[in-house]
Chain A
């Protein structure tokens, strides 16, 4: 007697591998367990307005590049008559519109969908930036030196220096030096210049506060310093380190936000909307970027995806047939005929499918009665039966259509060859074992087919089998396990009940 433990171990491995892979993909790719799970997404629209001056126009907008805390889902430009492209050069991304000739008021749109994702950090510069040398004129030069001196005394690191500097520059603690500096200049730019002077690489980043259904918003400047590893963001007014929630950094590199050649009075405004998208679509959009994405079927063309959707349901039906036959003990006509019928039911929906199936089979049985009197050879009899089945289905479709039931057409989804063989088998069964057995097997098959249909048409089943194809390893394991089931079938508990009399 061979030991079965390696077999059970292999099945255990199969099932755990399937489950583990599914969990991993759920966690890593964010594929939801249930259909219809929603995730919030920000739709941000940048609107560029300018006056064209009757000459070639070229508009270039800085667009987000790895904004910290967000993931870019989609990018889209709407601008009739303009050529559009996205250009990446020396670490910053720009959207460029161009047109040979334009005049009058022009409006260009650029839309992005952003998902908040805390794991995303800002871009890491390829070459560490260096502090720029700054030149100050007197009396600012002295003021800067003194303010920086104060801040340096109270701090120990670039971060704390930045915080202290911001505090000193606030109007609440007025000093001669700071008032002199702040008056008449751009405050945030002043800060970056001072920090650069202090040997700390600093720049301005423009952020956008995301609030639902806001229109005509403008970018707010934030201060960024480089601490030797990454860019850190500070609120230039409060000195708070870190990016507030729901702020997306639209522009990080220190280049212009918008350049328009051939136009004037240009401006950019932003409007935003909070949307929800199914978590599944989100996962699909992100699948390409992840290493685990290769297992998923999302990369296939849509048509093939539809085919796989159906194909991947079959194992579920096969498992139900195996369970019904091995554990319950329901007799069916033809081993996997019920699965194929169930697949047809998925296309036709249940009630029309049942009606069509029963009418085709009963009409076929009637005609088969005549065929059996003709004494034909088996192959030609089956072939004749296939043709008859096609006639019957055509007839049902046409009659159904004339009577106004479009569902009559769906009868063509039934596999003709399988129907012909079912009729042949039923007919032989009728002749040999009597109508009772035909009814038992016929209803057994239909019952199993309906169970398989119910399982296969459940939205959850379709969702799980398609989005977690690795779960089929679990189904495979369960089917193999059933193949080793040596216990009693449910039907045997009834069949052998007279044994009570002998068991004392």
Chain B
């Protein structure tokens, strides 16, 4: 059995689950702001007000009978994503990449029928994927075409970038790559690869899968050490703007890079996970304390980003 002493963890500045909940989420995140991030539809509308781009909204299915409209809509579409507005942890998201006559091909390669998708919509409306099982709405979004430079690293799925934003300062970031183990999903605990990113440059620092350090992507075999995200400063500013939009002091911002549209906001998370620390090989706590000690916070997203890039860059 492998264990680490709590003293060493503390020295490394690792944020624990309990401390995250009590000292950061509990203290900096206002309950009333939660619906803004727990409901993807609200997030989308809000983001548009703050000039943060999101994938194009194609349709909102609110009632059972509206599923027939969905049938009309998909006639003209090749690729799209169906998401429950109040889903959490990527649950209930179905991504269709292309069509083969009347079969729809999922990101994983499995083909499903229109009936399956309609059933899926009906499940979403009934609240199967929503927090607490409350009735939900389904949103249908344009398919994100990942930019070639990043897409090659990921096995299926779209690589996304998680940035933890504290009081508007981006404090830590990682790139999440789907693998066969994770079944095309970008969730670290399901086996996706997490690549820590240098806040200063967008360069990769370190990569982990199942909590273990790796150097090559397990499926594509590409080295993960010299990976670099383009347009890094812009992405950090986008993430930082979400603070003004939601008022959440401690949140996770998930971005994707679309081949045509550039960086897009995928979703916000008021309870971002702790695995990002493993991907970076660094603890969050030290950085959070640095921001908490700031006597004069910066008022513009740009100011906060440049401060963070200087402070937390390697």
Q: How far is the CB of B77 from chain A (nearest CB, A)?
A: 23
Contact of B12 among A377, A487, A503 (CB under 8 A): A503
The answer to whether B18 touches A497, judged by C-beta atoms less than 8 angstroms apart, is: no
Q: Which residues of B contact A497 (CB under 8 A)?
A: 2-4
The answer to whether A492 touches B122, judged by C-beta atoms less than 8 angstroms apart, is: no
Of residues 478 through 501 on chain A, the ones whose CB sits less than 8 Å from some CB of chain B are: 483-489, 492-501
Indicate whether B172 reaches chain A with its CB closer than 8 angstroms.
Answer: no
Of residues 254 through 306 on chain B, the ones whose CB sits less than 8 Å from some CB of chain A are: 277-278, 281-283
Indicate whether A315 reaches chain B with its CB closer than 8 angstroms.
Answer: no
Indicate whether B158 reaches chain A with its CB closer than 8 angstroms.
Answer: no
CB within 8 Å for A492 and B9 given contacts A498-B212, A500-B4, A501-B281: yes
Indicate whether B148 reaches chain A with its CB closer than 8 angstroms.
Answer: no
Give the number of residues in A that approach B within 8 Å (Cβ atoms). Answer: 28
Indicate whether B190 reaches chain A with its CB closer than 8 angstroms.
Answer: yes
Q: Which residue of A lies closest to B206 (CB)?
A: A502
The answer to whether A492 touches B17, judged by C-beta atoms less than 8 angstroms apart, is: yes
Q: Which residues of A contact B12 (CB under 8 A)?
A: 499, 502-503
Q: How far is the CB of B290 from chain A (nearest CB, A)?
A: 15
Q: Which residues of A contact B23 (CB under 8 A)?
A: 486
Which of B36-44, B126-134, B223-231 lies at the interface with chain A? B126-134
The answer to whether B3 touches A486, judged by C-beta atoms less than 8 angstroms apart, is: no
Complex formed: what's the CA distance from A458 to B186 in Å? 46
The answer to whether A493 touches B211, judged by C-beta atoms less than 8 angstroms apart, is: no
Complex formed: what's the CA distance from A379 to B122 in Å? 12
The answer to whether A488 touches B2, judged by C-beta atoms less than 8 angstroms apart, is: no
Contact of B122 among A375, A484, A500, A502 (CB under 8 A): A375
Complex formed: what's the CA distance from A377 to B118 in Å? 12
Q: Which residue of B lies closest to A486 (CB)?
A: B19
The answer to whether B9 touches A496, judged by C-beta atoms less than 8 angstroms apart, is: yes
Indicate whether B238 reaches chain A with its CB closer than 8 angstroms.
Answer: no
The answer to whether B91 touches A496, judged by C-beta atoms less than 8 angstroms apart, is: no
Q: Which residues of B contact A (CB under 8 A)?
A: 1-6, 8-12, 14, 16-19, 22-23, 91, 119, 122-123, 126-128, 133, 190, 206, 208, 211-213, 277-278, 281-283
Since A377-B126, A483-B22 are in contact, a sample of 18 more A-B pairs with Cβ atoms closer than 8 Å, ordered by chain A residue number, is: A378-B126, A378-B127, A378-B128, A487-B18, A487-B19, A488-B16, A492-B9, A492-B17, A493-B5, A496-B278, A497-B2, A498-B212, A499-B277, A500-B8, A501-B213, A502-B281, A502-B282, A503-B11
17 chain-A/chain-B pairs, Cβ below 8 angstroms: A377-B126, A378-B127, A378-B133, A485-B18, A486-B18, A486-B19, A488-B6, A488-B10, A488-B16, A492-B16, A493-B6, A497-B3, A498-B278, A499-B12, A500-B4, A502-B282, A503-B12
